[in-house]
A and B are shown apart, each in its own frame.
Chain A
Amino acid sequence: MSETAECVVIGGGVVGSAIAYGLAKRGEKPLVLDGGDSSIRSSRVNFGLVWLHSKGDGMAAYGFWTRRACDLWQQFADELTDETGVNTQYVKSGGVNYCLSEAEYNKRSETMQRMRGQAAEDPYEARMVDRGELRQLMPRAKLGGDVTGASYGPHDGTCSPLYLLRALHAGMTKRGAQYRADSPVTAIKPVDGRFEVVTAGGVISTPKVVLAAGHGSMPLEKALGFDVEIIAERGQIVVTERVAPMGILPANGVRQSTEGTVLIGTTTESVGFDLSTTPQAGAAMVKRALSVFPALAGVRIVRTWAGVRTLTRDKCPVYEQSGQYPGAFIATCHSGVTLAAVHANDLAEAIHNGKFTPMIDAFHGRRLK
């Protein structure tokens, strides 16, 4: 006899777990099927930025969607801590993107202006800060001589992606979701308005299925009528020993974690699912970080790692309900940490209701055809 569930979420990473948490908050009892230890897990190899001001160049809706996430994040983080005792270490510090020459500063300035001009309203409220103002923002930091300034986003911040994932797992379970590890889905079959979800442990019959398995969604999506291309991109990160708090704002390329390590990133490489790190990439990233903060030269590197991003063709999220098989949903995106706050709220609400709002429908994959 096959098992039944009122809802199955495929993927126990930060995207699937945020959706499952939001569904559980709305009274559903989702069964979350996670992959195995050898699955590609973007959720666990992550820089931990909760980031707005560089998102949505070319797609205004992504800027507004991310702004909404940043606006919800503090309440979302507090709620997770209250319910689970796990602190996601979220801090809305503001964030910067350093410029290391006049040319970089001018180019960054043009990009910010272009993004601001995409819609009548400006979701970013970002601005360029020159070297002098940057020093005022980080009075203790000793900037390298090449630093000309930065773009500054007041809504940006950081969290611990690992504690976020742990909090989501604890929160969704507490609210009635069931989490099943090491249960990769091998096939999904639509049968008479329901879905048969096939795993090594058996078949689960459900009227509602949410595909949120990152790269694992690709082999499953066609059976549900989806056709979203998910692209792998490697990113490498260098990690230093723990040092005393430096009083620096987080940036794309360098930030200090709550525990004191300095994270230096990152690369964008098309090498499939190859998770190796390369000394060449590490050296280039460290060189740039040293141009920003020369004093980091005295700090020891303790490890490097690589992860695979989950991208679409335009790097923006795709959310769809299947036209062919209503009750089947797909959610895939790069910024699962930042967007966790809207995934647990707005997106979970839409999936719960079976009806997408215009804001969410803007992320339908038809734009990529």
Chain B
Amino acid sequence: MSNVTVNVEGKAISVPAGESAAGAALAAGLTHTRVSPVTGEPRAPYCMMGVCFECLMVIDGVPSRQACMVPVREGMRIERQTAVEVWK
């Protein structure tokens, strides 16, 4: 299977095509992928099958995406999600 290159927290990483964005984040060595918007606690992907919503990340600039359900694409930007602030 061919590989694609994605960008995780600013670093390029090559992962197998068909891998999920959450898988790419874990492969890149991220130990947390978001923080709780309420407590600030670091959180990481858990179920890897679209159920638990722990893996919410910012993908290509769009926050709150379920990274485990998003297949990687060449050039995809995958970033940790910080608390979404309503009052800016």
Contact = CB atoms under 8 A, between A and B. Distances in A.
Contacts, number: 44
Nearest to B38: A260
A260 B85 CA distance: 11
Contact of B84 (A140, A258, A299): A299
Given A258-B38, A259-B38, A260-B38, A244 B85 contact: yes
Taking residues whose C-beta sits less than 8 angstroms from the other chain, chain B's interface range is 10 to 19
Main secondary structure, interface of A, reads loop
In the A-B complex, the 8 residue pairs with the closest CB atoms: A244-B83, A241-B64, A243-B84, A260-B37, A244-B37, A242-B37, A260-B38, A295-B86
Main secondary structure, interface of B, reads loop
A6 to B, nearest CB: 41
Contacts of B63: 241, 300
B87 A141 contact: yes
A296 interface: yes
Nearest to B62: A300
A260 B38 CA distance: 6
Taking residues whose C-beta sits less than 8 angstroms from the other chain, chain A's interface range is 10 to 19
Contacts of A259: 38
A246 B84 contact: no
B87 A242 contact: no
A141 B88 CA distance: 10
Interface string B65-88: 000000000000000000111111
B68 to A, nearest CB: 16
B67 to A, nearest CB: 14
Contacts of A302: 64
A330 B36 CA distance: 43
B34 to A, nearest CB: 10
Given A242-B64, A246-B86, A259-B38, 10 more contacts: A140-B87, A142-B87, A241-B64, A242-B37, A243-B37, A243-B84, A243-B85, A293-B86, A298-B86, A299-B84
